[in-house]
């Protein structure tokens, strides 16, 4: 079983929201989670493809996976500090 399947995942649903709201919700979820915690962000705003990558890079969080299908973007982020 992979590490992502063992750890609980905090879900952030940001479908229908526009920049900067998805990243603001992600930031709030990161604050609430523990170091090494996993957060799944679901969004429909295409700008999240750039914003989430930059958010993770700037704050040293790991972008574990990123996908898009049917105009929905999904990101799995591991909070830094584990």
56 tagged catalytic: no
Q: Exactly one of 19, 42, 63, 64 is catalytic; which is it?
A: 19
- b/e string for 49-72 if b means 16 or more Cβ within 10 A? eebbeebbeeeebeebebeeeeee
| Residues with catalytic roles | 19
């Amino acid at each position: 079983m992979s590490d992502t399947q063992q750890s609980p995942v905090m879900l952030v649903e940001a479908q229908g929201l526009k920049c900067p709201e998805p990243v603001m919700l992600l930031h709030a979820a990161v604050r609430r989670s523990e170091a090494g915690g996993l957060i799944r962000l679901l969004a429909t705003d295409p700008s999240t493809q750039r914003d989430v990558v930059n958010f993770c890079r700037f704050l040293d969080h790991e972008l574990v996976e990123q996908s898009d299908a049917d105009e929905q973007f999904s990101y799995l982020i591991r909070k830094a500090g584990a």
